[in-house]
């Protein structure tokens, strides 16, 4: 996808350039992190976009500590908290994300970021352009993106659960196995033949008994 920020570049002022450009890189699960490397590489092109728009390389910072952390769960996402804190301290001129509404999959966190960004004059940039949360139309658009993202996640979970239930009803659902067990082609389950894995798991259980 070609990014065109030319129409939005007028929103960038020297005041924004004096502060950091934060690039948020995120994928929702460890599996995505392992198997979808192209997504990370694509998101990292935003580093070059920030430099093209005028940010000095020393003022460009990448936040990727939440890779593999779903925004839908209850687990802590330290990088998101650090990002909001940096914005609140007035250190950030713009937050870039490939799809910035995916920074948070619930509107509470999304609007928290938008409120702080509007208060401190921080811009929000994604593949559609650059938005200023202080402007009514931009704020409305960013709010809609957050609402649509939350709805999309709800529908995805519904489809996933419906598909799993359908497999259960047909007797085809295969429960993921815990570490140390493997499933053979005939669906039988055995211990992992890797002796090192067996040794480590045995050691864990023996230490637990102690």
28 is annotated as an active-site residue: yes
The b/e string for 55-72 (b: 16+ C-beta within 10 A; e otherwise) is beeebbbbbbbbbebbbe
In whole angstroms, what is the distance from residue 124 CA to residue 133 CA?
7
Of the listed 28, 29, 149, 206, which one is catalytic?
A: 28
In whole angstroms, what is the distance from residue 101 CA to residue 107 CA?
9
Q: Active-site positions?
A: 28
């Amino acid at each position: 996808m070609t990014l065109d920020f030319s129409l939005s570049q007028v929103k960038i002022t020297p005041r924004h350039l004096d502060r950091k450009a934060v690039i948020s890189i995120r994928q929702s699960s460890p599996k995505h992190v392992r198997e979808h490397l192209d997504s990370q590489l694509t998101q990292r092109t935003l580093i070059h976009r920030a430099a093209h728009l005028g940010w000095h390389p020393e003022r460009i910072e990448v936040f990727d500590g939440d890779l593999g952390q779903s925004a839908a769960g209850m687990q802590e996402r330290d990088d998101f908290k650090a990002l909001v804190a940096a914005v609140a301290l007035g250190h950030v001129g713009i937050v870039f994300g490939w799809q910035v509404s995916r920074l948070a999959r619930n509107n509470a966190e999304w609007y928290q970021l938008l409120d702080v960004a509007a208060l401190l004059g921080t811009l929000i940039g994604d593949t559609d352009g650059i938005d200023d949360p202080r402007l009514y139309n931009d704020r409305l658009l960013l709010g809609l993106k957050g609402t649509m993202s939350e709805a999309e996640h709800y529908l995805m979970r519904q489809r996933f659960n419906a598909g799993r239930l359908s497999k259960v009803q047909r007797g085809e659902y295969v429960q993921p196995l815990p570490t140390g067990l493997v499933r053979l082609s005939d669906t039988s389950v055995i211990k992992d033949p890797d002796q090192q894995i067996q040794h480590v798991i045995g050691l864990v259980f023996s230490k637990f008994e102690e």
